[in-house]
Amino acid sequence: MEGLYKVEYEMNGGFGRSVMYVHDGKMFGGNTAFAHLGNCQVIDGEVVAEVNTRRHSASPTHRTLIGSREVTIRMRGTLQDGAYLFTGDVVQEPGRGFRALMTPLNDDDTPPPGVVGEGGVVSGLYSIRMRALDGVTGGNTGVMLLHDGQILGGDAFFYYTGAYSSANGRWKGEFVNQEHTPARTEHPLFGGHEVGIGFSGRCDATSAEIEAIALAGKRSIRLAATLTLMRSFG
């Protein structure tokens, strides 16, 4: 199951999407409002997983399918036609069914990882809040996974792949923002484009900041973003 996935899920009569990265039995991902952290293993050809879902955005505009800020989902899944189909339950809401389809995303074009030295940004799962500058309206929230010089992440519409280098409280790199679900009506700033983003900024043990230039079609857009560490790989 190693790799980056789009997740489409049903719960409490509603529907949602997120991204998920699976590596060495660990699961890290999320979307616009929630982060996902869990574990999985294959037993007799079936994937057995437990995922903790934790809210990272307090914005009331972000729709939620659960009443709590944090829940645990236990699920089992099998590989069917190249994707993993899961069924399970929400521990805190007995009787509430959960279904999810995990479809692989193309992360083959991810550049080689950068070099991370002493005082570099901490490897882990971060929430990210991105905003446009220079009077341009737009922004987004999601999750970003920083793993030894590699960038992965996304939200309900987009996914990120890229690389970074870091040392002495600074970091720099680049990533590509791509759609996994059409987003033009929800996010007109980036929707419909494959967006290349180069950045630099500061970092410490719990957070990071960046200033960036995004190339969306023929437009060049200045961005700023704040990343907050939710779980390190330590």
Domain boundaries 3-104, CATH class: mainly beta
Q: Is the pLDDT of residue 65 over 80?
A: no
Domain boundaries 124-232, CATH class: mainly beta
**Would you tell me how many other CB atoms lie within 10 Å of the CB of residue 117?**
9
Q: Is the pLDDT of residue 60 over 60?
A: no
Q: Provide the pLDDT for residue 140.
A: 86
Q: Which of 83, 125, 112, 124 is nearest to 100 (CA)?
A: 83
Strands (E), the chain: 3-11, 14-23, 26-30, 34-43, 46-55, 70-80, 83-90, 97-104, 124-132, 139-147, 150-154, 158-167, 170-179, 195-202, 207-216, 219-232
Q: What is the pLDDT of residues 100-114, one digit of tens each?
A: 999 999 877 788 999
Average pLDDT over residues 130-151: 92
The residue extents of the domains of the chain are 3-104, 124-232
Q: 15-19, 90-94, 117-121, 220-224: lowest mean pLDDT where? A: 90-94
Average pLDDT over residues 3-28: 92
Q: Provide the pLDDT for residue 29.
A: 96
- Which pTM does this prediction carry? 0.91
- One fold for both 3-104 and 124-232? yes
